[in-house]
Amino acid sequence: MHPLFTPFRAGDIALANRVVMAPLTRNRALPGQLPGPLQVEYYRQRASAGLIVTEASQISPEGQGYLDTPGIHNDAQVAGWRRVTEAVHAAGGRIVIQLWHVGRISHVSLQPGGQSPVSSTARAAATKTFTKKGFEPVSAPRALRSDELPRIVADYRHAARQAMAAGFDGVEVHGANGYLLEQFLRDSVNDRSDAYGGPIANRARLMVEAVQAVCEEIGAARTGLRLSPVTPANDAGQDSDPQALYGHVVERLAPLKLAYLHLIEGATGGDRNVAPFDYAALRAVYKRAHPAGAWMVNNGYDAAMARAVVERGEADLVAFGRPFIANPDLVRRLRENAPWNALRRETLYGGDAAGYTDYPALPDTVPA
C-alpha cells in the first residue's frame, strides 16, 4: 500500500491514513452559531479521512466574522458539536476543531452589540465578508489594548477546554489567512508600538501565548497550528521578512511538541508560487526541535502530488480542501485513482443540503 494510505500518529491522535480534510467554511450553522443535523451528516460522510479539521469555529462572540459560522464558546455549541464528534467516531474517523478569531475580518452586524471588530490595528482591511445582505466590505476595526490581550488568550484556552468537552480528538489553532493571530504577526498589518508590535518577537507574542495556553489546557500532543507564510488572503500584505518571522514562530513553538504544523503553501486556494518562501527550510527548523512532529501540507494538491510529497518524505500529512466538499469518499478516490465529482461553487456558502450532503460517493461495486 502507498504510504499516503497507511496509518500515522500525529501526537496523541492515531490516524487511519495520511489524508486530511482541511477546514472549510460553509456558513450553515443554526441560529446561536450552533452545528446542527446537517453538520452531523456532512462530517460523518467524510470520516474516512485520516483526520478531519472542522470548519473554523469562533472562540468567542467577538471572534465571529461571517454569517452562520459555528462557535465553540458556550454549552449549547458544545452539545451540538458532540453529536458531530460521536457520528465521526462511530464511523471510525478522527476529528479536531479549528479555533478561530477573525480579528478585523468582520462586520458590525456580526459583532456583539454592533461593536467594531478588534485587531492589532485600527486600519480596515480591503476585503469583504458574508453577512445577511450578502458580501459586504468589512468594518473598520478597533486596535486591541495591550491589557485586553490576556482575555484573548484566555478565550483560546476556554475554547480548547470546550472542544474536549465536545469529544474532539484535539484542536487546530488558526494562525493563518489574515485573521487575528496573523494580523499581529505581519508587519504589513501590525502597526503597534507596544510589547505586541515592532520586532518579530513582539509580533509573534500573541500567537505564542495563545498556543501555549491551549497546550497547557489540553496537551500539546492534541494541539495543531495552521500557518500561511505568504498568502495574501484577507488583505494580509507580505511581511518584510516572512522567512525570519515564521522561522521564529516555529522555533518558539516546536519545543512544545505539537501534534502537527499545517502549512498553506502559497496563496490560499490559489497560486502556490505567489511569493518566495523556503518551506523545506522551515520544516527543517521544526523537525530539529520536534523530530516526531507531523508536517502537514496544503494547497492545490492532486493525487499525484500528494503521493509524491509523502514518498519523498517532504510531508507526513496532505490536506485537501475543496476536493472534500464534492467527494465525501475522497480517500477511496485517491487510492483507486477514480475521477472526482465536480464542485458546485454556487452552493459553497450558506443554504441547505444541496451542495453539502448530497454529493454522491462511488458505488460499492463498479460494473465490468
What are the catalytic residues?
Answer: 179
Gyration radius (Cα) of the chain, Å: 19
DSSP secondary structure letter of residue 26: -
User: Who's near 275: CB < 8 A, 6+ residues apart?
Assistant: 230, 238, 242, 266
- Dist. CA 229–CA 241, nearest whole Å: 10
- The cell for 286 is 521544526
Asked if 320 and 50 touch (Cβ cutoff 8 Å), the reply is no
Instruction: List Cα–Cα distances, 248 to 6, 208, 253, 324, 357, in angstroms.
Output: 32, 10, 9, 32, 41
Parallel, antiparallel, or unpaired for β 223-227 and 118-119? Answer: unpaired
Could you give the CA distance from residue 56 to residue 100 in angstroms, rounded to a whole number? 6
E strands, the chain, in order? 8-10, 13-15, 19-21, 51-58, 95-100, 118-119, 128-131, 134-137, 142-143, 170-174, 223-227, 260-264, 294-298, 317-320
Residues 136, 322: Cα–Cα separation, whole Å: 23
Give me the residue label for grid cell 494547497.
299
